[in-house]
Amino acid sequence: MTTSVLNLIDGQWVGEPDTERRNPARPDQIVSMSPRSDAASVDDALVAAQQAQPAWAALPPPARGAVLLDAADLLRSRQPEVARDLVLEEGKTLTEAMGEVRRAIDVLRYFGSQGWALGGDVLPSSVAGTTVFTRSEPIGIAALITPWNFPIAIPAWKAAPALISGNAVVLKPAGLTSLSATHLARALVDAGLPAGVLNVVHGQGSVIGDALARDTRVGALSFTGSTAVGLGLHEVLSQRRARVQLEMGGKNGYLVLDDADPVAAAQVVAAGAFSLTGQACTATSRVYCTPGIRDEFVAALVKASERFVPGDGLEPSTGMGPVVSEQQLRVDLDAIRRALEQGAAVAAGGTESGGLLLPPTVLTDVAHDFDVARNEVFGPVLAVIGVDDYDEGLALINDSQYGLTAGICTTSLRAAHDFAARVQVGVVKANRPTTGLDLNVPFGGVKDSSTNTFREQGPNAVDFYTWSKTVYMGYE
């Protein structure tokens, strides 16, 4: 059954669905149809947001929070249906999809509860009879551009802090996953979010994203996606001094030391590399291993990869979903082909197994200067690279244009703490997969992975969507 997805503008579902999205596991099945909107739709959404924002900001924060909390309850009641649709359009396994919807629910609850905690600081004044305090004011209109790989969780963790802070939002979801984002929007609307406070515009990123970035009514833009697109948006927004938050690419490295258990290390690395079909900005894509454990680790890694059997995410036997699209599959296969041309060997996987199914691929005999060790692939492709010792491994992990996540497997507290201190990334994992992050902690990277200014998630996520005002109040 095909679902029609519409734009949400000023509380109304509008637009002409003309763009199809097919199930990556069953390409003959059309999952949804969505509009290919233009700049005029963006203008309509911004007009609605501009009109609705002052009244929304005037509501007490606990009242705004109540809407988010009610939306979380609605989404919880719809979780099985929403997760199934997520599987159909993005390809995750049902277990992964249920977990992602749960993440969106928890994000709404977390920021909904923040309505009782928002406020400024009271500070001493050098002037008698004077109190100094700060106020956090909403930016006004926040534009959100979100990717296909976490199609409901990322829109939730961007929209929730923006909304609780008193902003109106214009959301541009990824074209491949318009249905999942619509489920989030519908829950907020059904929970009583006033018309115009949240607007959703579907269409091509080059059209919708560019219109949002250039419009002076947009006070802040938060983007998750490729580094090339993010840096282009940053240039446009910086020219007009608008606030911009970018979370972009990653080439996440893992260091496995001789003192680690090879089987346990392989399980950790495989989970970080192959869960979510490797289609996560935090996925492990290169692993550096010291000599004493290398052969045992590679053998265990190949064995660990076998549980990620690719298939339809709705089938219980499936351990890993399909690649999201033909275009992404070509990127994955081209990366493998180029690695083999440069001298790599295939220890597991390496070729598609039908349709958009690509088994977990483990490449060995990889050198640090191979393309597959330098460039983001965004698929279930893992490069194993030998290093002589800890210092070389750390240096090579840091020798990257990206700096999102990194990990180390070791039983040495000294090595783990030294790694955490010296590795140049935003998120460090010791003896844990690089994927996965608690919602109450900051998320972001350095180098070409992020603007490295305002972090997403956690109690300080609202900082991006607010500005601080200092007030001197004399009473004598």
- For position 119, what pLDDT does the model report? 87
pLDDT at 369: 97
- Provide the domain count of the chain: 2
pLDDT tens for 362-376 read: 999 999 999 999 999
Whether 196 and 301 map to the same domain: the answer is no
Average pLDDT rounded to a whole number, residues 181-188: 98
338 and 359 housed in the same domain: yes
**437 domain-assigned:** no
Give the position of tokens 């500005």. 467
Same domain, 425 and 455: no
Q: Is residue 98 part of a domain?
A: yes
Is 442 part of any domain? no
Check whether residue 308 and residue 241 sit in a common domain: no
Q: Which residues, 6 or more positions from 469, have their beta carbon under 8 angstroms from its beta carbon? A: 134, 135, 136, 137
Band of the pLDDT at 61, cuts 50, 70, 90?
very high
Q: Are residues 294 and 228 in the same domain?
A: no
- Looking at residue 367, its pLDDT comes to 97
pLDDT at 436: 93
| Cross-strand bridge partners of residue 289 | 256, 386
- 312 lies in which domain range? 252-430
Residue 435 belongs to some domain of the structure: no
Do the beta carbons of residue 10 and residue 196 sit within 8 Å? yes
Same domain for 277 and 164: no
pLDDT confidence tier of residue 12, bands split at 50, 70 and 90: very high
Contact 382, 363 (CB under 8 A): yes
Residues 223 and 90 in one domain: yes
Work out the angle at residue 470's Cα, subtended by the Cα atoms of residues 465 and 475, and round it to the nearest 5 degrees. Answer: 140
- Verify that 31 and 168 share a domain, yes or no: yes
Assess whether 281 carries a catalytic annotation.
yes
CATH code (residue 156): 3.40.605.10
The pLDDT value given to residue 218: 98
Same domain membership, residue 455 and residue 381? no
154 shares its domain with 293: no
Answer yes or no: is 66 within a domain: yes
**CATH code of the domain containing 298:** 3.40.309.10
Residue 443 lies in a domain: no
User: pTM here?
Assistant: 0.96
Residue 185, pLDDT score: 98
Q: Which residues pair with 133 in a beta bridge?
A: 122, 471
436 located within any domain: no
Q: Is the per-residue pLDDT at 101 higher than 80?
A: yes
The pLDDT value given to residue 430: 98
Predicted confidence band of residue 2 (pLDDT cuts 50, 70, 90): confident
Among the options 49, 98, 242, 281, which is catalytic? 281
Cβ 277 vs Cβ 320: under 8 Å: yes
Q: Does residue 371 share a domain with residue 317?
A: yes
The rounded mean pLDDT for the chain is 97
Do residue 178 and residue 39 come from a single domain?
yes
Q: Is 410 domain-assigned?
A: yes
What is residue 197's DSSP assignment?
T
